[in-house]
Amino acid sequence: MNFNTLINSITTTDSVLQTEAVKAINKALTARNWLIGLYIVEFEQNGEDRAEYGAKLLQKLAERLNSRGLSFRNLKLFRQVYTEYSHLSQPIQAYLKGQGIISKLDSSIGQLPIAQLQNTDSQSIKLNPIDVFNNLSYTHLTELIHIKDPLKRTFYEMECVKGVWTHKELKRQIHSLYFERMGLSENPTKLASLVQRKTLPATPTDLIKDEHIFEFMGLKHQILEESALEDSLLNHLQEFLLELGHGFCFEARQKRILIGEEYYYIDLLFYHRVLKCHVLIELKVEQFEYAHAGQLTTYLNYFKQTQMTEGDNEPIGILLVTAKDNALVHFATAGNDNLFVSKYQLHLPTQEQLEDFMRKEMERLASLSS
């Protein structure tokens, strides 16, 4: 064995086993959530005291279970995934048997028919349930359940399997109307080939970037996409603002908010006791783009409508970037006085102070890496 052979062996082993590990986690996660959905549906249909809970069943369950991974939203999703993918019963049953799990479940779930699960779905326009269970993660399923047309859903399932799409890629293709474009295309085969060529297959790292996996494993959610540079800048930015005083009260780092059915994260969140408002700070280690302004504006609107209490002023946002085109900034933020803190300079850091902070931090980080 020479050195290049050693490199190839290590690289292949790392890639293959990482992928297999993630697949194992995804299968366990899908099985767990699907089963919980089954339990809920079974109770709603046959529970002895179901009438006592009625429409508030999921809320009562979430309160009693008191677990982040078993929140009201998640329980609702579990039930919906089970309802839309009840035909996964056979591969899930086989998985549970193969892992020696069914016997452990039977002793703890009473009379629910885990050992007698059967595929009762007679619809023929479906991908083989084994292929769905083996190749699509629970996160994929949470996206696919919103597609009510069976043919359209099966189309995206097959394309996911063929292209090894991430959840993010699946969502992008749905929003780009890929299915509809296929129907209108004079050459569907050519279009499919073009889309698959432009789609990068998922890597183990891509697969691991999944909030549900961390939730399932009992770990605190991590922002894996965040670079060490961004992390260091945020640490020092937090200290910088607190040292300035002027009324900053720190509330949260990577503040998670739910808008619609998606979670988003605000880099830093403060409350300003003098201005009596929230201060939202977003850090972008890149040149300013108009999408950055749109993102922060969305967060500001969310706080304005859902987080303000009596006596609060409207929230304001600070967006820090490494470079900017002043003309683009002007048009991207026109009409939004609460963005880029244009009218609060009396109590907030000045533009010069923020730019000086960014310059010094970038120089410090550059010296550490040299």
Q: What is the mean pLDDT of residues 35-54?
A: 82
For residue 53, pLDDT beyond 80: no
295 shares a domain with 319 = yes
Is 349 a domain residue?
yes
Q: What is the pLDDT of residue 236?
A: 75
Ranges 82-86, 284-288, 352-356, most confident: 82-86
Q: What is the pLDDT of residue 77?
A: 93
Average pLDDT score over the chain:
76
- Say if residues 110 and 75 touch (Cβ distance below 8 Å): no
Is 64 a domain residue?
yes
232 shares a domain with 212 = no
Domain range for 148 is: 3-216
For residue 271, pLDDT beyond 70: yes
- Say if residues 52 and 11 touch (Cβ distance below 8 Å): no
Q: What is the mean pLDDT of residues 151-155?
A: 90
SS3 280: strand
The position carrying tokens 């090894």 is 164
Least confident of 32-36, 274-278, 358-362: 358-362
Amino acid at position 204, single letter: P
292 shares a domain with 211 = no
The position carrying tokens 């900017």 is 324
- Residue 342: pLDDT band (50, 70, 90) is very low
178 shares a domain with 250 = no
Q: What is the mean pLDDT of residues 210-218?
A: 55
Q: What is the pLDDT of residue 243?
A: 66
- Reported as a single tens digit per residue, the pLDDT across 176-209 is 777 877 766 666 666 666 666 656 555 555 544 5
SS3 64: helix
Tokens representing 143 are 């996206």
11 shares a domain with 143 = yes
For residue 355, pLDDT beyond 50: yes
For residue 254, pLDDT beyond 80: yes
Is 204 a domain residue?
yes
Q: Half-sphere exposure of 33 toward its Cβ, with a 13 Å CA cutoff? A: 32
Is 222 a domain residue?
no
242 shares a domain with 206 = no
Distance CA 356, CA 236 (A): 13
Is 221 a domain residue?
no
For residue 224, pLDDT beyond 50: no
Distance CA 256, CA 91 (A): 35
Beta-carbon count within 10 A of 275 CB = 21
Q: How many domains does the chain have?
A: 2
- Reported as a single tens digit per residue, the pLDDT across 75-132 is 999 999 999 999 999 999 899 888 887 777 754 444 445 545 554 454 556 788 999 9
242 shares a domain with 185 = no
Q: What is the pLDDT of residue 343?
A: 44
For residue 63, pLDDT beyond 60: yes
Q: What percent of the chain lies above the pLDDT cut of 90?
A: 18
Domain C-terminal end among 164, 186, 216: 216
Distance CA 199, CA 298 (A): 29
Is 24 a domain residue?
yes
314 shares a domain with 360 = yes
Distance CA 14, CA 125 (A): 37
Tokens representing 79 are 């039930």
Q: What is the pLDDT of residue 319?
A: 83
Distance CA 250, CA 10 (A): 45
What CATH number is attached to the domain comprising 331? 3.40.1350.10
Q: What is the pLDDT of residue 79?
A: 94
Domain C-terminal end among 216, 237, 268: 216
- Say if residues 78 and 34 touch (Cβ distance below 8 Å): yes
Distance CA 146, CA 153 (A): 9
For residue 347, pLDDT beyond 70: no
* pTM of the predicted protein model: 0.59
243 shares a domain with 132 = no
Domain C-terminal end among 216, 246, 266: 216
